[in-house]
Structure formats: C-alpha cells, structure tokens
Amino acid sequence: MLTLSKPHFREMVEHARREAPHECCGLIGGRDTRTQTIYPLRNVAADPLVTYEAAPEDLFAAQRAMRDRGEQLLAIYHSHPRAGDPTPSATDVRLAYYPSAVYFIVGLAGEAPCLRAFRISEREGRWESAEYDVVTDADH
C-alpha cells in the first residue's frame, strides 16, 4: 500500500484544478512505498479534454530527476475533471504501460476532489482498486 503525504495529495489536486477542464498528468517518485516527489508533466494529448499524454521531454526530465534522487516510479496520476468518483477509462487501461505503478485519478466533479488509486493491467485489459494511505508530514 502506498503512503502519500498530505502535501503530495494537495499538489495533485491543485495540478488537476489548474489544468481543468483539461486532464492533467504526472509521475510520483519515492522509495519503497513512500512517496517523495510529485512530478507534474504537461499534457500534450491531441484532445486533452478526454485523455492525457505526457510531454516526452517532461517525462524524460522527471525520470532523470528520479534516478538522480535515488527514487523509483511509484505512481502515475492524471485527472478526470468531470468525474466525481473516477475510474480508469478504456483508454487509460489500453495505455497503462507501467504495470508495477499505481495509477491515481483525481476526480473534480464532486463537492470535494476525489482521489482514487488503481492497479491496471494493460496486457489483461482490466483494473482493480488499490489502497493508499494519506499521512501528515510528521508521519511521512
């Protein structure tokens, strides 16, 4: 189970709100199961209202920074601005190329933002909910 700090949770939600109505995307690096760094990426998808594609140069820069910091890719996040209780779309499943990563989706349509986590198997074409814990900085 991933452990996410409250500031990291807020960073993802703020990124989603800044990009709305477009989807946002980013990576989360860390060690073991603890998140350490949020890497917001630019969404360069042809139709950013309904899908995401990370800018390749942002993706490479984030991966380099993770390597330099001794982090591993723990999670990938993106938003569904019009969803209150988000779940992976067929496109999300088809493009889930990192089976070891947790996929977070930020939904913004409800009264409060909703963050859900998933394990997605692109190869098997399916997903399942994943558990995560949000902790205060002192716990992290």
User: 3-state DSSP call for residue 66?
Assistant: helix
Q: Please tell me which residue in 11, 19, 23, 53 is annotated as part of the active site.
A: 23
Distance CA 138, CA 84 (A): 30
Which of 85, 64, 83 shows the shortest CA–CA distance to 73?
64
To the query of whether residue 23 is one of the catalytic residues in this protein, the response is yes
Q: Which of 62, 59, 49, 58 is nearest to 108 (CA)?
A: 49
Exposed/middle/buried for residue 82 (C-beta within 10 Å: 0-12, 13-18, 19+): middle
Annotated active-site positions, please? 23
